[in-house]
Chain A
Amino acid sequence: MLEPMLKPSNDTVLVINFWATWCAPCVKEYPYFERAFKEYSSKKVRFLMVSLDFPSQLEKSLLPFLKQRDSKLPVVLLDDPDQNTWINRVNPQWSGALPATLIYRGNQKVFFEGPVDYEDISANIDLLLTKP
């Protein structure tokens, strides 16, 4: 189900954000992703918000957050405690601290550990969209 969404493609830019509702800087930057999601709705850009909320807090934290925002951003909950394995697979530069953002197209990618603002997101999407 997720596979077609995450496969790097030569004509689509993928924006992946790792976040959680308990992470204050993540919640602060969430609206920037919502804005970009709207702004680029007619372009070849896909978004995926990967939540690292504790699965036990799904009903209490994540679902109410999403319901309240009435957000159309695609969200998945990543529940794999073997973080030592998958963090390096996401990006070897990543320490594991939240938030983290990956923007890529084909084999070109930009990685942010720490908060981003709207310009960080849009400038990199624009850059990747215009690459041949």
Chain B
Amino acid sequence: MKRLIVIFATTLLATSLFAQGLKVGDKAPDFRLKNVDGKIVSLSDYSKAKGFIVIFSCNHCPYVKAYEDRMIDLHKKYEPKGFPVIAINSNDPEVVPEDSFDKMVERAKQKLFPFVYLFDEGQKVYPQYGAARTPHVFVLSKQGKEFIVEYIGAIDDNYKDPSAVKEKYVEQAVDALLSGKKPSTTETKAVGCSIKVKK
């Protein structure tokens, strides 16, 4: 299938257009969203955090399912260092019933999510961030009272085989921030499920 890719590369002209939403370097808006434990969560609640790994996620998407264990590992590794995972489900449950709040509670229990799993009720947060798919990661650094976007994109470069991953994009970005540097890779792309809205 490599051949298919080469053909695309050589035949399609690049029309560079920036997607809507946040770009690296922008200030990320805070939010107030309900967690699976019923509590309302905001970024500003985390007084000790140095930043966040915000992941637009959901229940139903096979790509999310492929990454759930890696999301858990990310939180376990980086929450103690000041970068907790914040998972947000922005799908409209009327379009995908599997992504309802009740189903989120079930999934979080089933997988023992150590991170918060928030429901973007009314789908207000994902457009502000410019999240387009699940999973879609935004690494933020906290600077004073502001949250700055440092990385946007995929968790790593191999959705289907964690052992074949060569580039751990999110880990590299957070490690760089923890050592006082800027991430070297700031944007990546991956296939994912579109965020589901009514048409």
Contacts and interface: CB of A to CB of B under 8 A. Distances in A.
Contacts, number: 120
Interface stretch (B7-15, B35-43, B46-54): B7-15
Interface string B188-199: 111111111001
Nearest to B132: A95
Interface stretch (B69-77, B79-87, B103-111, B151-159): B151-159
Contact of A91 (B7, B12, B66): B12
A22 to B, nearest CB: 5
B112 interface: no
Given A94-B189, A114-B194, A83 B12 contact: no
A95 B133 contact: yes
Given A54-B62, A104-B12, A86 B5 contact: yes
B199 A115 contact: yes
A2 B7 contact: yes
A82 B4 CA distance: 13
Interface stretch (A3-11, A35-43, A67-75, A121-129): A3-11
B196 to A, nearest CB: 8
Contacts of B199: 115
A7 to B, nearest CB: 6
Contacts of A2: 3-4, 7
A84 B190 contact: yes
A114 B190 CA distance: 15
Contacts of B19: 93, 95
A96 B152 CA distance: 13
Nearest to A107: B13
A77 B12 contact: no
B45 interface: no
Contacts of B153: 84
A109 interface: yes
A24 B96 contact: yes
Interface in B135-192: 136, 153-154, 157-161, 164, 167, 188-192
A97 B191 CA distance: 6
Interface string B1-36: 111110111011111110100000000000000000
A62 interface: no
Interface of B: 1-5, 7-9, 11-17, 19, 61-62, 66, 96, 132-133, 136, 153-154, 157-161, 164, 167, 188-196, 199
